[in-house]
Amino acid sequence: MAIRTILHFPDKRLRDAGKPVTDFGPALQALIDDMAETMYAAPGVGLAATQIGEALQLFVVDCAGEDEPSDFRVFINPTFLEKQGSCTWEEGCLSFPGVQEEIDRAAKVKVRAQDRHGAWFELEAEGLLAIALQHEFDHLQGVLMIDHMGPLKKRMVQRKMQKRGDAAAAEPGGG
CATH for 12-170?
3.90.45.10
What backbone torsions phi and psi does residue 123 show, to the nearest 5 degrees?
A: -145, 130
Q: Which residues contact 5 (CB under 8 A, 6 or more apart)?
A: 52, 53
Query: Where do runs of H (alpha helix) occur along the chain?
Result: 26-41, 127-140, 151-170
Q: For residue 153, give Cα distances in angstroms to 9, 145, 169, 173.
A: 15, 11, 24, 31
Which pLDDT belongs to residue 115?
Answer: 98
Q: Is 146 helix (H, G, I), strand (E, B) or coil?
A: helix
Find, among 76, 79, 40, 36, the residue nearest to 56 by Cα. Answer: 76
| Beta bridge mates, 102 | 90
Chain segment 107-158, per-residue pLDDT in tens: 999 999 999 999 999 999 999 999 999 999 999 999 999 999 999 999 999 9
Whether 90 sits among the annotated catalytic residues: the reply is no
Which pLDDT belongs to residue 66?
Answer: 85
* Model confidence band, residue 172 (pLDDT cutoffs 50, 70, 90): low
Q: Among the options 37, 122, 136, 171, which is catalytic?
A: 136
Q: Is 80 helix (H, G, I), strand (E, B) or coil?
A: strand
* Model confidence band, residue 20 (pLDDT cutoffs 50, 70, 90): very high
| Beta bridge mates, 80 | 111
Q: What is the mean pLDDT of residues 59-68?
A: 94
* Residues 91 and 135 sit within 8 Å (Cβ to Cβ): yes
Q: What is the mean pLDDT of residues 67-94?
A: 97
Which pLDDT belongs to residue 26?
Answer: 98
